[in-house]
Structure 1
């Protein structure tokens, strides 16, 4: 998912995300989209980030079609698991990075469909 305007990224997260992308053996569509978003991102100090999803943010989402609510934590690929820790290199993770509280997002899911969610709450989590 491409954001309508440039995303905001923490000055702490940006170098690590760039190293992650540089280390990939090949770029898939998600990595390519993330790379493009980062190239145009507004970079700010962590204390100035505001209500924006950063790495290690816990995000509460609501599916717009079903009303189902759930939480995920945006993490680096090595920290992703089935317990709601989602990789920034997954379609949902890439869409979440830089999103703002209250924003509506969508990302592809298996079966060729799009998952649409609204961001209800977010908080930083210890890495």
Structure 2
């Protein structure tokens, strides 16, 4: 029986991470009275994009990781992908919310893309 331990960990961590990202947006919306969009508020725009980027990548990361784990990917591969996905999502959010220069986000996206490429290549090659 495959316990999907790594996928469970990543899904749980992502569930915990989405809450502060979402709350940050809600609090700023309340402060700026911005019901829709960002109302021209730079801080709200950054929070919206940090939350949005997380939502764009995190669900697929969990699915892809789950498939690699379910299909019997080597433990080192599964845990490396898990670490890469978590690292990239945390660092990207930090880069969006707490820095004004792109290197942190760029590093996060590089790790994110590398993790997706590795998982995708493994999955496609495991099907043949």
TM-score by length of 2: 0.28
Greater per-residue strand proportion: 1
Greater per-residue helix proportion: 2
